[in-house]
């Protein structure tokens, strides 16, 4: 599948902003099943400087600085992405206890990189309450991916998707107890329960195909990736109770939301402000490529 994704963020300020510095995690990642054919980020007013770097997790980060006074800032990320389906057989994965032991042994570079994603992070606390919730799915000897799928299904069934019911300051434990939130919250809960069992899980930010019968379409979305020793990372979307395939576009991944916030920064001035975000992801025909295949 080929998609054109357009993500527009508009900040409107009550008072003029004299200076702003921002970073954007809005460039799709390249992977074995995803290719960013083209990608562009535009800013209005025009920035005095703009540059790109790779962060710790290999995500592309665009940093820009606007020095012109303004009462509105518009950031538009546009990209064309090819996404291939990922065939997956859930049943053929090691027992989850064996996978945990292999991860803890840290015998390869891959498990070493994954092991640090077993730890607590700023937005994902760990603890016995989270481990107990996961324990209902992780019975002795159950294949890892079968257990993870069961956990995903339970979160989808037992938690209510309710926009504006939480904020960025709502903790994982609060979401666990009130049983409601949005995709970011469900991803954090699932990550917290998995890590509390000693498993590696990371937070994935991205998009859903517009018009799909999914919660979280037409906006930034979040899901979870779980490490399977010997096989790599496998994605799960607890908000929609699906295993992501060619309808999910990946932007970035990290420990939690704080590592991959789509757009964040600091401003001088501005006072009160409002934010409007619009995401459109539409299928397109295969784009023309040059002789080099690009």
3-class secondary structure, 192:
helix
Residue 292 is predicted with a pLDDT of: 43
Angstrom distance (rounded) from CA 111 to CA 228: 9
**Strands 160-161 and 180-181, sheet pairing:** parallel
Peptide bond just before 45 cis, omega within 30 deg: yes
Q: Which helix (H) or strand (E) holds 23?
A: strand 2-24
Cut 0.85: pTM above it: yes
Task: State residue 211's pLDDT score.
Answer: 72
What does the pLDDT look like over 253-288, one tens digit per residue? Answer: 999 999 999 999 999 999 999 999 999 999 998 776
Residue 82 and residue 35: Cα distance in Å, rounded?
5
Instruction: Give the three-state DSSP class for 161.
Output: strand
SS3 210: coil
Residue 290 has pLDDT above 70, yes or no: no
pLDDT in tens, 124-160: 999 999 999 999 999 999 999 999 999 999 999 999 9
pLDDT in tens, 229-243: 988 999 999 999 999
In degrees, rounded to 5, the angle at the alpha carbon of residue 118 between the alpha carbons of residues 86 and 170 is 95
Average pLDDT over the chain reads 93
End-to-end CA distance of the chain: 16
As a whole number of angstroms, the distance between CA 115 and CA 262 comes to 25
In this structure, the number of other CB atoms found within 10 A of the CB of residue 136 comes to 12
User: Are the beta carbons of 250 and 28 closer than 8 angstroms?
Assistant: yes
CA dist 95 and 90 (Å) reads 12
Nearest-angstrom CA–CA distance, 78 and 101: 42
> Ramachandran region of residue 198, left (φ > 0), alpha (ψ -120 to 50) or beta?
left
Show the domains of the chain with their CATH numbers. 2-84+260-284 (2.60.40.2250), 96-244 (3.10.620.30)
pLDDT greater than 80 at residue 72: yes
């Amino acid at each position: 599948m080929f998609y054109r994704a357009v993500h527009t963020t508009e900040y409107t300020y009550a008072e003029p902003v004299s200076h702003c510095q921002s970073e954007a995690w809005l460039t799709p990642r390249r992977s074995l099943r995803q290719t960013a054919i083209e990608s562009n980020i535009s800013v209005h007013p025009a920035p005095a400087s703009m540059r790109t770097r790779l962060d710790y997790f290999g995500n592309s980060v665009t940093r820009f600085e606007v020095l012109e006074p303004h009462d509105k800032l518009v950031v538009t990320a546009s990209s064309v992405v090819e996404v291939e389906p990922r065939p997956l057989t859930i049943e053929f994965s090691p027992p989850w206890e064996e996978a945990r032991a292999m991860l803890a042994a840290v015998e390869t570079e891959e498990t070493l990189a994954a092991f640090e994603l077993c730890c607590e992070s700023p937005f994902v606390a760990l603890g016995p309450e989270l481990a107990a919730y996961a324990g209902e799915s992780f019975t002795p000897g159950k294949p890892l991916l079968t257990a993870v799928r069961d956990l995903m299904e339970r979160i989808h069934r037992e938690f209510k998707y309710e926009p504006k019911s939480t904020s960025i300051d709502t903790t994982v434990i609060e979401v666990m107890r009130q049983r409601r939130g949005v995709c970011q919250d469900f991803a954090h809960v699932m990550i917290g329960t998995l890590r509390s069992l000693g498993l590696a899980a990371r937070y994935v930010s991205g998009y859903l195909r517009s018009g799909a019968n999914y919660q979280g379409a037409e906006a930034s979305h979040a899901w979870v990736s779980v490490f399977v020793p010997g096989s790599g990372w496998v994605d799960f979307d607890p908000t929609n109770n699906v295993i992501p395939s060619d309808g999910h576009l990946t932007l970035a991944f990290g420990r939690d939301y704080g590592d991959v916030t789509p757009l964040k920064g600091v401003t001088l001035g501005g006072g009160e402000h409002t934010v409007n975000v619009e995401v459109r992801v539409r299928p397109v025909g295969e784009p023309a490529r040059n002789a080099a295949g690009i």
